[in-house]
Amino acid sequence: MATPIGNLGDITLRAIDVLKRADRIAAEDTRNTRGLLNHLGISAKLVALHAHNEHRAAEALAHAIANGEAVALVSDAGTPAVSDPGAELVEAVRRAGAKVIPVPGASALTAALSASGLMFEGAVFAGFLPVKGSARREKLAALAAGPWAIVLFEAPHRVAATLADLHEALGERDVVIARELTKRFETITRMPLSQAHAFVLADDDRRRGEFVLVIEGRAVEAAAGLDPRALLEALLAELPLKQAVALATRITGGKRNALYALALELKK
């Protein structure tokens, strides 16, 4: 189940009810989760489930569920099993024939996408990049080849190097640097990738906290001889205006503002 990614006010009523009813709460860091439970006035049995003990803990918790216990799974923040431990427990519970019920809530991924201002028809969530070496280079090359917007998580001590590597691998695209989402020092900044490395190095505070990076998708080369008016007419017959303009921009390689104005004209 999802827990707040920073602002405790983002806990849902359903999540509170689940936590109150749970016989056990499996947590990535029991100290962090105890702070959340104390804030909510909930007393529950906490058990640790993290990257170093997940296999053993998953089997024990699946056994507890089979014996009729209600177990809630949380991570330090956000949704477990999304760039966090938890997938092995989910699979163990499914293998045992028990039911897995997701409890959605705050998400750094969707928060960053919604505040990015980027137009996209699809996005690839790549989690954390490999730290270094050929695995990192191969992942960046694969991301560069795709047409979609890219979403990454990054740690403060690696964000500057990652922005430099992204510029080298992806070329000149806009990046949205979302830092400390929902927290007191939240900042969301958009700029060309060529400026991003220097930007975060210019001020130590710009490298503090947790990061979500959203990079715009690869521009599609202009299609020779394609009539943007005819294309927009066809797209507007099937799609809302903003989606039609975004897709036309990718297909034709034209300027979004000009295509948006043309779409408004056609809608009249």
Q: Give me the pLDDT at residue 220, please.
A: 58
CA distance 109 to 78: 9
Q: Are residues 16 and 80 in the same domain?
A: yes
Query: In which residue ranges of the chain is pLDDT below 70?
Result: 220-225
Residue 149, φ and ψ in degrees, nearest 5: -60, 150
Q: Could you list the residue range(s) of the whole structural domain that residue 246 is in?
A: 228-267
Residue at 102 is within a domain: no
Residue type, 32: N
CATH label of the domain that carries residue 114:
3.30.950.10
Residue at 101 is within a domain: no
Residue at 220 is within a domain: no
Quick check: helix, strand or coil at residue 261? helix
Residue 209: left (phi > 0), alpha (psi -120 to 50), or beta?
A: left
Q: Are residues 172 and 261 in the same domain?
A: no
Q: What is the DSSP string of 66-85?
A: HTT--EEEE-SSB-TTSSSS
Q: Are residues 132 and 193 in the same domain?
A: yes
Q: Give me the pLDDT at residue 196, please.
A: 98
Q: 207 near 213, Cβ under 8 Å? A: no
Q: Are residues 203 and 148 in the same domain?
A: yes
Q: Give me the pLDDT at residue 225, please.
A: 61
Residue at 221 is within a domain: no
CA distance 154 to 180: 11
H/E element, 268: none
pTM for the full predicted model: 0.80
| Beta strand 211-215 pairing with 149-154 | antiparallel
Residue at 121 is within a domain: yes
Q: Are residues 127 and 171 in the same domain?
A: yes
Instruction: List the structure tokens of 15.
Output: 């999540």
Residue at 15 is within a domain: yes
CA distance 22 to 71: 6
Residue at 183 is within a domain: yes
Q: Are residues 138 and 204 in the same domain?
A: yes
